[in-house]
Amino acid sequence: MQKYEELLVSLRKVTRAIGLYSKKLSKESGLTSPQLIVLKEIDQHKGCMVKDIAQSINLSSATVTSILDRLEARSYVIRERSLTDKRRVGLHLTELGKTVVKDAPRPLQAHFIDRFEKLEEWEQTQLVSTMQRIASMMDAENLDAAPLLEVGALQDMTTPE
Amino acid sequence: MQKYEELLVSLRKVTRAIGLYSKKLSKESGLTSPQLIVLKEIDQHKGCMVKDIAQSINLSSATVTSILDRLEARSYVIRERSLTDKRRVGLHLTELGKTVVKDAPRPLQAHFIDRFEKLEEWEQTQLVSTMQRIASMMDAENLDAAPLLEVGALQDMTTPE
DNA sequence: AACTAATGGTTCGTATACTAACTAAATTAT
DNA sequence: ATAATTTAGTTAGTATACGAACCATTAGTT
């Protein structure tokens, strides 16, 4: 087997583990990982737009819209059309949404996080930088299409309307 | 941002890059990455079963079934129920399927593979083993549920019926 | 002022990807 | 021999996830 295939396989295992955990989480807490992550983003950046969320967590707007549909249907989130710019949609948590996000488990295997945090500092750094290196080796062609916004890098957009 | 969040973000970027490439590939060659990977597995292990494919590339049987549906609809693959054990379904490529898989591009960004292969041997090894380490840190709980079969680890199952 | 471009979001269509429930067949146990 | 279990695969239902096409609105040009 080619080395790059081995890399692919383990990558696939990781994404699968994440997906399986999302399903498990969904059964226990009623929320999938993407739903939880979106909720957290809204919580941290009250009033932010759909596009902000999409960029900060590396999803397309279309995907975020469909996740928001479900979150809104369950009354965790409110969409509020801006008055000054009617294209924009401000996102807010309901009281229920705030409770849910507060009580929600962490968005990845607790096991993984625990283990990760038990590693030496330099080992953690090494894992992260290797992962980032692989990422950069893969998407360099599309870098311009995907602005390098990171989770948590959004400005607070409280009441921009 | 927590270190483990950084790791998550770059992981997300990688899986996204893979997904985007799959879409691009699909437009150019008419095949998505999972379809191509399944075709290659069948090509390398003629007559293998659905379950073998599922295990070797870390997908559920249900997912493989739906991918096979599309491949069969396009006459790339033939399902052949075993006579000795009628539960089993042997998978084979059609002539068309063989041609397609022969002409198909590699199942990941050519750019990535090129770059990867330009790295020093030890660097490649390091990337792979880091990825494997992350994988094992994530799915250890489910290890028993997911046998560690790897791509290419299947025996040749030519005409087992 | 009027036409053009760009932006933000949604909708549509398609493909993954999973579990759970199911059918059918083969094994094992009683 | 017959019942219970296991195995292989499919089907149904749901949730991502994407691009492309589409509104409505805003910004920019002329």
Q: How far is the CA of A59 from the C1' of C11 (A)?
A: 17
Q: For position B61, what pLDDT does the model report?
A: 97
> What confidence category does residue B145 fall into, taking pLDDT thresholds of 50, 70 and 90?
very low
| SS3 label, residue B16 | helix
Question: Who has greater pLDDT, B147 or B41?
Answer: B41
pLDDT in tens, chain A (161 residues): 778 878 888 888 888 888 888 888 898 889 999 999 999 999 999 999 999 999 999 999 999 999 999 999 999 999 999 999 999 999 999 999 999 999 988 877 778 888 899 999 999 999 999 998 998 888 654 443 333 333 333 333 333 32
Question: Which residues are within 8 A (CB) of B102 and not within 5 positions of it... i.e. 6 or more apart?
Answer: none
Cβ contacts of B5 on chain A, cutoff 8 Å: 151-152
Q: Give CA angle at B66 (B61, B69), nearest 5°.
A: 125
pTM of the model: 0.83
Dihedral angle over CA of A94, A98, A101, A102, nearest 10: -170
pLDDT at A48: 96
Query: How crowded is residue A160: how many other Cβ atoms within 10 Å of its Cβ?
Result: 15
> DSSP class of residue B31?
-
Contact A116, B4 (CB under 8 A): yes
In the prediction, which pLDDT does B129 show?
A: 92
Q: What is the pLDDT of residues A32-75, one digit of tens each?
A: 999 999 999 999 999 999 999 999 999 999 999 999 999 999 99
pLDDT at position B153 over 60? no
Mutate to test the interface with A, among B1, B2, B7 (most CBs of A within 10 A): B7
**Span CA (B90) to C1' (C24), Å:** 16
- Judge whether residue B65 contacts strand D, using its CB and a 7 Å cut-off: yes
Give the burial class of B14: count Cβ atoms within 10 A of its Cβ; 0-12 exposed, 13-18 middle, 19 or more buried: buried
Using a CB-CB distance cutoff of 8 angstroms, which residues of chain B are in contact with residue A22? none
If one compares B18 and B141, the residue with the highest pLDDT of the two is: B18
Domains of chain A from N-terminus onward: 10-153 (1.10.10.10)
Question: Which amino acid is present at B11?
Answer: L
- Cβ neighbours for A131, distance < 8 A, ≥ 6 positions apart: B7, B10, B11, B14, B130, B134
Q: Write out pLDDT tens, residues B66-97.
A: 999 999 999 999 999 999 999 999 999 999 99
- Reduced to 3 states (helix: H, G, I; strand: E, B; else coil), residue B153 is coil
Please report which confidence band the pLDDT of residue B4 belongs to, taking 50, 70 and 90 as the band edges: confident
